[in-house]
Amino acid sequence: MCGIVGIIGSQPVAAELYDSLIHLQHRGQDAAGIITCNQRFHIHKGHGLVREIFAQDDMDQLTGNLGVAHTRYPTAGGYSEQEIQPFWICAPYGIAMAHNGNLVNKTQLAEKLCKTHLRHLNTSSDSEVLLNLFADGLTTKHAINTSAEFFEQVCQAVTSIFNQAEGSYSIIATIIGKGLVAFRDPHGIRPLVYGERQHENGDCDRIFASETTMFYPLGFSNINNVKPGEVIYIDEHGQVFKRQLTQQKFSPCVFEYIYFSRPDAKLDDISVYRARLRIGQNLAKLWQKTYPDTLPDVVIPAPFTSNTAALAFANAIGVRYSEGLYKNPFIGRTFIMSDQQQRKRSVRYKLVPQETEIRDKKVLVVDDSIVRGTTSREIVKMVREFGAKEIYFASTCPPIKFPCFYGIDIPTRKELIAADKTVEEIRQYLQVDKLLYQTIEALEEAITRKGDHHIDRPCMACLDGCYISGNINPKKMHAMEQERHCHKRKSVKEPT
């Protein structure tokens, strides 16, 4: 999962791209980059948090009224600086691209580009594959004189990607001398939103981003979501061209609402905060049905992404809500960390139980999900050490049984605790008195209950094994898991 943003305006955009990355930092803490352009590209990238990468001298070099930026944690590609987005290519025109998502047929496409199209790929990233596919589609031998003609060429290039690329991809690209292009895969798996900012003199700045989180502080109005299969082109004079090139089942990722997006975001006309409230309400109903004779003394969230659902859960069952675990906000997300030992150690660094809220109480912990079980087990252990009488555990997400191949680092089945364990076996592993998982039906209902979203069904492949793109069968899944395993072993040896 990554965060992407692109801005085209009447003033230099580097500072606002930086501010946007700060608002997207929760989507990736591994690396970040900014590319701006006027008649040439200006680039700065690095490993770490956004505030650690960009010094004032770096920002001063990022000139131009058009640019894209990216913050990431890697699910494909390597960890060297060459793998950090945005990527750029010199021909045709000069194109810089930021991508959020994951291709499941990257290897086949890369081989085709190298052997048939004689293109050189300098990284193992699927984003570079997409950049070269896009550049290939824009290559033409005849003159293009108007923005309308160029938009037709863009539509042909994006259609070619739709016909070849399998998986998830939200894309923002700057093209020197032409403007800004944004498009979203035909199923809309990864989010992409569009905003505008009007000036008194009539100028209008435009922004595309993974979330709306930076719109208000930067003065942008939320105009719309980029539709699945839609491409939008804004030329250097501010003309807007858009077209939905294909329409397939709209299946945005369910994990955006459970975990990844910031609660103040609005995606596909659904408030993430309200969706999490409804998720908590549905989980509470299930608790009362499953354990009608069990009432905890206190409900505490595993902060921060489960706070909203835990609050709704506590209100629904009439029990006090308490932030019984204090979270150090300067520790990264344990879900993203690369190995079990690091993940286990980090839980105690970032979470400190509050004894007054726990001792001699029946404590119900609400967490957004249980992936490997390492973090959940460590939380339970800490709560028990601080004197809880009984410990119950409720997950707002159903059991995660399958890997995600669309851009979230939900790993191989071997690493997923629910892939080969029953709920009772997981309860025993976590060492809790009672365990409850949300159901798939209740989760889907909570997310889609409100909003003019036109969602056919959220992508829940990690829960039910129903992969919407890529024709993923058991044989292909095994091959991709093996590729991930080899990549992980290789990446550990690489310098950071």
Domain boundaries, given as residue ranges, for the chain: 2-249, 271-467
Question: Nearest Cα to 390, choosing from 399, 380, 400, 401?
Answer: 380
Instruction: Give the integer Cα–Cα distance in Å for 48 and 383.
Output: 31
Q: Tell me the pLDDT band of 428, cut-offs 50, 70 and 90.
A: very high
Beta-carbon contacts of 247 under 8 Å, excluding residues fewer than 6 positions away, are 186, 228, 229
Q: What is the pLDDT of residue 145?
A: 87
Whose tokens are 């509050």? That residue is: 354
pLDDT at 327 over 60: yes
Q: Does domain 271-467 have CATH number 3.40.50.2020?
A: yes
Residue 423: how many other CB atoms lie within 10 Å:
12
Q: Tell me the pLDDT band of 142, cut-offs 50, 70 and 90.
A: confident
SS3 (DSSP) at 271: strand
Of 45-54, 59-68, 409-418, which range is least confident?
409-418
Q: Tell me the pLDDT band of 339, cut-offs 50, 70 and 90.
A: low
pLDDT at 173 over 70: yes
Of 55 and 143, the structure prediction assigns the larger pLDDT to 55
Instruction: Give the integer Cα–Cα distance in Å for 215 and 233.
Output: 20
Q: How large is the average pLDDT for residues 252-279?
A: 97
In angstroms, the Cα distances linking 325 to 336, 357, 386, 431 are: 20, 9, 11, 18
State the CATH class of domain 2-249. alpha beta
Beta-carbon contacts of 143 under 8 Å, excluding residues fewer than 6 positions away, are none
Task: Tell me if 2-249 shares its fold with 271-467.
Answer: no
Catalytic residue among 2, 37, 155, 397: 2
Q: Tell me the pLDDT band of 487, cut-offs 50, 70 and 90.
A: low
Amino acid identity of residue 318, one-letter, is: G
Residue 2 falls in the annotated catalytic set: yes
Q: Tell me the pLDDT band of 351, cut-offs 50, 70 and 90.
A: very high
Is pTM beyond 0.85? Reply is: yes
- Tens digits of residue pLDDT in 182-210: 999 999 999 999 999 999 999 999 999 99
Instruction: Give the integer Cα–Cα distance in Å for 227 and 235.
Output: 19
pLDDT at 338 over 70: no
Q: How large is the average pLDDT for residues 436-461?
A: 96
